[in-house]
Chains A and B, each alone.
Chain A
Amino acid sequence: MSLMHDIDFTLNGVRRSATVRVDMSALDMLRDVVGLTGTKYGCGEGECGACTVLVDGLSVNSCLMFAVDCDGREVVTIEGLVEDPASTRAAALRDAFVGHGAVQCGFCTPGMMVQASHLLDKHPHADEAGIKRGIEGNICRCTGYKKIVDAIVDVSRQERGAGK
């Protein structure tokens, strides 16, 4: 019987607790314990980025993180990102992804969105090359990346234009 452990953390802006197996990944906790399925399992070894979430404002692969390590931290998933009324960036990214055709099967998209949001946070003036480097840890098999990069470049320009 695996050891269980209680944790207390903030998920998408709301304080909550969870009881998790000690060897459980944050990804499995989010999907199976909390029930938020927007974050995806792509590979379980940190190579594809489908499981990207924000922890204390930084993007990480939730498949590599231990659930118990979420204790005391602020976690934001795709659901929280797009639901945040204060975030104009999430809305801008969503509209850009739609408008530029950056979504085909959509499986990589939540991870891309979270990573893009973090990328623009950290590098508000990122150019196309910088954006490509910024999503190097997110694999897409459908789009060939071009429209995803176009969408993020578009939002970056918008934000620069708005003097962010």
Chain B
Amino acid sequence: MNVAEKTRFIERDSLIGKRIVKMDAPEKIEGKTRYIHDISLPGQLHGKILRSARVHARIKCIDVSAARALPGVHAVITAADLPHQRPIGVARDHFPLKGDKVRSQRDEIAAVAADTEEIATQALKLIKVEYEDLPILSDPRDALRPGAVLIHPEPQFAGAGQEQLKKGAPVAYTGKSDNVAMRFDYGHGDVAQGEAESDVVVEDTFQLHYVTHCCMGVSGIIAEFDASGNLLMYSNTQVPFLHKREFADYLDMDPARIRIIQPPIGGGFGSKLDIYPFEVICVFLAKAARRPVKLLFTREEEFLASPTRQPVLLTLRSGCKKDGTLTFRQVNTLHDNGAYTSWGATTPFVMMQTFSSLYRVPHCDYHTVAVYTNNPYAGSFRGYGNLQATFAIEQHMDMLAEAIGMDPFEFRLKNAQEAGEVTGQGMSFKSCGFKDCLNTVATRSDYQGKRKANEAQQKAPGAIKRGIGMASMLHVGGGAKIYPSDGCGTILKLDDFAHVTLITGASEIGQGSETVLSQLVCEELGLPMSAVTVVNNDTAITPWDVGVHASRTTFIAGNSAIGAAKKAKIKILAAAAKKFECAESDLDLRGGWVIKAGTGEALIDLPRLLRSLHFTDKAELVMTTFYYEPPSVHQDKGYKGDVSAAYAWATQAVEVEVDTETGIVRMVKVTAAHDVGRVLNRLGIEGQIEGGMVMGQGYALTENLMIENGVMKNPNFRDYKLVTAPEIPEMDISFIESMDGEGPQGAKGVGEAPAICIAAATANAIYNATGVRMFGLPFTPERVYRALHGEAEKLSWKPQ
């Protein structure tokens, strides 16, 4: 006789929008997480790099004999030992080990692998290098003048083969007859017409400075060849699959024999999107020494040898009609490309989107050139050029409004786009919370009232002035179709106990992707967060993803994970429908059970159903895969096209206090509204916004990488000031849920957004407080003081 089982009903519940704790937080808190610095392989050696003592010089000779002879040294390599070395980087102008010339302070000349770090460091000191100095080119404005010293005039390899000299061959093999690294030219509409229609035109030159990522974990890599010659790298790259392919290229290896494992990362922010010399060098050391080699940066090296944010000299000419309609933008920018080309040179791709499409602009013209100099090179950094572009655009929005006597908020609202609009660059705004962002911020910060009150106090007695400034931003929120694929793959398996293994190509760089992806899968399968294990860090196991950049992971990897989960759900419900002899549409998954969709009545717990699927004659496991490619398009040759599957907006109002007797600007409060499509993990997204805003605060107020004649003057935390806890502003954050149709549960990307418009809003706030507008960053005390007291020179630059 059966004991009657009481009928259970499972209540509806959702994980979406909840505060979900980060899955790896406990082990990180307890110090148990093993970052790359904490990993040691048996038999490993320590690698160290000898960097240039000069900024620009011919290398006459390198003598490594004393270093090679030092006990404990297993390998010393220079360019001479690597005749088949290939150039790396976007323009292939960069050999990892330099043999002909050094072109910047961080240039790598030799590398050592030794038993200990101390011996490796000692060995470096024994390497003798003779240089012949060359003139230093450190001002990008001089790079295109006649007679300017050329940074890459000749092939970098003596005796480069004839076939390598053919047209289109890498710069490292051909040399260049000028200092132009890259050019971009964009236009939509007709700016001459736009200017003719304008009642007001303003033109200014803005200067955006060098800052750097300062990830708390310094760069490092471990390289090991196994007995069959396969290469294993422990790497913090944000683009493991691209890396695999590029390494195969540089090493002339079959990509199938390269495996990358990604240990937890001590911060990324875009710093790990390119291939860097130290990585290739470490692999060569491992090859030469026939032992695993671990190479870690010191903090000083991290400053010297990491890519920076792209510095930009920007001249913007904008106009509007007296009724407040924007008419045109004409932009010219000069990018200091540094000695070698990395992703910084491609920031115009992103800057273009802001120039052409942040607010409705009928006519837009943008020209830029990146020039070689002997300065450090720029890479990709959270925001990727958008901070620089927004700094200029949003100051002109204030200036245009003032010129026509319109309230700056009203002016912005009038020109803000709405859902359904397509911009001149072809970006289609399917979900758009722009106006909601503006309205929310204006209301919550009391922008209009405060702005007027502060303005009235500008000339009043008292050294401390308050100001409020507003700025908005537009950024891709649904991936960015710049590679042949912008997709991500997921493999999902459920075991006999309904524990899910989520294998995703998307890496985790501290932003919590593993948690949000698990959240999306659990939502689909009606399981608790504890039911998921994530595997995301081994190219031998995980499916392809283009990488963590462009704020794409939640959107793309999220849709990929949902796709795999949906397939699993279909399979599960099909089996359950058969078992309970009903339609699949009568069933659902909730709380770890298969339930009746209408009533919530629990029919069978998921583990039992899965086991019943498995342990039968027609045994089946629930394992699914899904590759999500977003429905965006590649831009055409004119850079036009709907490059992302969704776009995101934010508005921020920054309130400052300016001490006019010291120039110290204190950021008192930031009121922000972010169009995120939909809040998935409320805890995680708040963390991204708060962290991004403070990064923006650093860009605006405290961080300044000082380069003089190619030499970095402050490669340390003592003199490169990151924001510390007592300096953070009060933060009021609102989320606008525009529910994007393509986004996972309606969500859009947000990783870069919060950092993007802080500096612009701060500039507007300082103007509101003091009546003085600052056209260059950063707003450090002396620079602000000089501007307030008429001691700052106003830049004016036009391209030649």
A124 at the interface (CB under 8 A from B): no
Judge whether A143 and B690 touch: CB under 8 Å. Answer: yes
A60 at the interface (CB under 8 A from B): no
Known interface pairs A45-B299, A47-B716, A141-B215; A104-B726 also in contact (CB < 8 Å): no
- Nearest CB in chain A: distance from B676 CB, A: 16
Q: Which residues of B contact A47 (CB under 8 A)?
A: 716-718
Per the bound structure, the CA–CA distance linking A139 and B728 in Å amounts to: 12
Known interface pairs A45-B718, A146-B728; A104-B511 also in contact (CB < 8 Å): yes
Per the bound structure, the CA–CA distance linking A129 and B418 in Å amounts to: 41
Name A100-117 residues within 8 Å CB distance of B.
100-110, 113
A125 at the interface (CB under 8 A from B): no
- Nearest CB in chain B: distance from A23 CB, A: 10
B34 at the interface (CB under 8 A from A): yes
Known interface pairs A45-B716, A98-B22, A105-B510; A141-B687 also in contact (CB < 8 Å): no
Which of A78, A132, A137, A145 makes the CB contact (< 8 A) with B694?
Answer: A145
Judge whether B31 and A138 touch: CB under 8 Å. Answer: no
A155 at the interface (CB under 8 A from B): no
Residue of A nearest to B217 (CB): A107
Judge whether B25 and A97 touch: CB under 8 Å. Answer: yes
B10 at the interface (CB under 8 A from A): no
Q: Which residues of B contact A135 (CB under 8 A)?
A: 725
Interface flags, A135-164, vs B, CB<8A=1, else 0: 111111111111111000000000000000
Judge whether B717 and A48 touch: CB under 8 Å. Answer: yes
Number of interface residues of B (CB under 8 A): 55
Q: Which residues of B contact A2 (CB under 8 A)?
A: 118
Judge whether B29 and A42 touch: CB under 8 Å. Answer: no
Per the bound structure, the CA–CA distance linking A141 and B716 in Å amounts to: 15
Main secondary structure of the interface of B (DSSP, over half): loop
Q: Which residues of B contact A40 (CB under 8 A)?
A: 35, 37, 216-217, 266
Q: Which residues of A contact B30 (CB under 8 A)?
A: 38, 78-79, 82, 94, 110
Q: Which residues of A contact B695 (CB under 8 A)?
A: 141, 144
Q: Which residues of A contact B716 (CB under 8 A)?
A: 43, 45, 47
Judge whether B216 and A104 touch: CB under 8 Å. Answer: no
Per the bound structure, the CA–CA distance linking A44 and B300 in Å amounts to: 9
Per the bound structure, the CA–CA distance linking A107 and B213 in Å amounts to: 14
A16 at the interface (CB under 8 A from B): no
- Nearest CB in chain A: distance from B530 CB, A: 14
Q: Which residues of B contact A99 (CB under 8 A)?
A: 21
A39 at the interface (CB under 8 A from B): yes
Per the bound structure, the CA–CA distance linking A73 and B786 in Å amounts to: 51
Per the bound structure, the CA–CA distance linking A142 and B73 in Å amounts to: 38
Known interface pairs A2-B118, A41-B218; A106-B24 also in contact (CB < 8 Å): yes
- Nearest CB in chain A: distance from B307 CB, A: 16
Judge whether A105 and B266 touch: CB under 8 Å. Answer: yes
Q: Which residues of A contact B25 (CB under 8 A)?
A: 97-98, 102-103, 106
Judge whether A104 and B31 touch: CB under 8 Å. Answer: no
Judge whether A98 and B21 touch: CB under 8 Å. Answer: yes
Judge whether B687 and A143 touch: CB under 8 Å. Answer: yes
Judge whether A77 and B31 touch: CB under 8 Å. Answer: yes
Judge whether B691 and A104 touch: CB under 8 Å. Answer: yes
Judge whether B510 and A142 touch: CB under 8 Å. Answer: yes
Which of A21, A43, A105 makes the CB contact (< 8 A) with B299?
Answer: A43
B707 at the interface (CB under 8 A from A): no
Per the bound structure, the CA–CA distance linking A11 and B170 in Å amounts to: 56
Residue of B nearest to A100 (CB): B683
Name B334-357 residues within 8 Å CB distance of A.
none
Residue of A nearest to B719 (CB): A47
Judge whether B35 and A107 touch: CB under 8 Å. Answer: yes
Per the bound structure, the CA–CA distance linking A146 and B267 in Å amounts to: 18
A-B contact count (CB 8 A): 170
Residue of B nearest to A135 (CB): B725
Judge whether B267 and A37 touch: CB under 8 Å. Answer: no
Which of B266, B299, B717, B725 makes the CB contact (< 8 A) with A145?
Answer: B725
Q: Which residues of A contact B24 (CB under 8 A)?
A: 103, 106
Residue of A nearest to B717 (CB): A47
Which of B22, B717, B726 makes the CB contact (< 8 A) with A136?
Answer: B726
B214 at the interface (CB under 8 A from A): yes
Judge whether B691 and A44 touch: CB under 8 Å. Answer: no
Residue of B nearest to A133 (CB): B726
A54 at the interface (CB under 8 A from B): no
Q: Which residues of A contact B686 (CB under 8 A)?
A: 101, 147
Known interface pairs A2-B118, A135-B725, A136-B724; A97-B687 also in contact (CB < 8 Å): no
Judge whether A44 and B217 touch: CB under 8 Å. Answer: no
Judge whether A50 and B216 touch: CB under 8 Å. Answer: yes
Judge whether A143 and B264 touch: CB under 8 Å. Answer: no
Q: Which residues of B contact A39 (CB under 8 A)?
A: 31
Known interface pairs A105-B216, A105-B266, A143-B687; A94-B26 also in contact (CB < 8 Å): yes
Name B614-657 residues within 8 Å CB distance of A.
none
Judge whether A146 and B38 touch: CB under 8 Å. Answer: no
Judge whether B216 and A98 touch: CB under 8 Å. Answer: no
Name B554-571 residues within 8 Å CB distance of A.
none
Residue of A nearest to B722 (CB): A139
Per the bound structure, the CA–CA distance linking A21 and B117 in Å amounts to: 13
Interface flags, A43-60, vs B, CB<8A=1, else 0: 111011010000000000
- Nearest CB in chain B: distance from A91 CB, A: 11
Known interface pairs A82-B31, A110-B31; A141-B726 also in contact (CB < 8 Å): no
Judge whether A98 and B26 touch: CB under 8 Å. Answer: yes
Q: Which residues of B contact A101 (CB under 8 A)?
A: 19, 21-22, 683-684, 686-687
Q: Which residues of B contact A36 (CB under 8 A)?
A: 31
Per the bound structure, the CA–CA distance linking A105 and B684 in Å amounts to: 12
> Which of the listed residues B30, B37, B214 has the most CB atoms from chain A within 10 Å of its own CB?
B30
Q: Which residues of B contact A147 (CB under 8 A)?
A: 686-687, 690
- Nearest CB in chain A: distance from B659 CB, A: 19
Q: Which residues of B contact A145 (CB under 8 A)?
A: 690, 694, 724-725, 728
Which of B37, B266, B684, B726 makes the CB contact (< 8 A) with A132?
Answer: B726
B701 at the interface (CB under 8 A from A): no
Name B711-742 residues within 8 Å CB distance of A.
716-718, 722-726, 728, 731
Judge whether B19 and A37 touch: CB under 8 Å. Answer: no
Residue of B nearest to A82 (CB): B30
Judge whether B717 and A139 touch: CB under 8 Å. Answer: yes
Q: Which residues of B contact A133 (CB under 8 A)?
A: 725-726
- Nearest CB in chain B: distance from A45 CB, A: 6
Q: Which residues of A contact B429 (CB under 8 A)?
A: none
B136 at the interface (CB under 8 A from A): no
> Which of the listed residues A37, A41, A101, A136 has the most CB atoms from chain B within 10 Å of its own CB?
A101
Residue of A nearest to B116 (CB): A32
Q: Which residues of A contact B34 (CB under 8 A)?
A: 37
Residue of B nearest to A104 (CB): B510
Q: Which residues of B contact A110 (CB under 8 A)?
A: 29-31
Interface flags, A15-36, vs B, CB<8A=1, else 0: 0000001000000000100001
- Nearest CB in chain B: distance from A161 CB, A: 22
Per the bound structure, the CA–CA distance linking A11 and B25 in Å amounts to: 25
B585 at the interface (CB under 8 A from A): no
- Nearest CB in chain B: distance from A93 CB, A: 8
Can you report 20 residue pairs joining A to B where beta carbons are below 8 Å apart? Answer: A37-B34, A43-B299, A45-B717, A47-B716, A48-B717, A78-B31, A82-B29, A99-B21, A104-B22, A104-B510, A110-B29, A131-B725, A139-B717, A140-B216, A142-B691, A143-B687, A144-B690, A144-B695, A144-B723, A149-B725
Give the 8 A-B CB pairs with smallest separation, nearest first: A38-B31, A106-B28, A105-B510, A144-B694, A47-B717, A107-B266, A78-B31, A37-B38
What 13 new A-B contacts, CB under 8 Å, besides A94-B26, A140-B725?
A31-B38, A36-B31, A42-B216, A47-B716, A98-B25, A100-B683, A101-B22, A106-B25, A106-B33, A107-B215, A136-B725, A148-B725, A149-B725
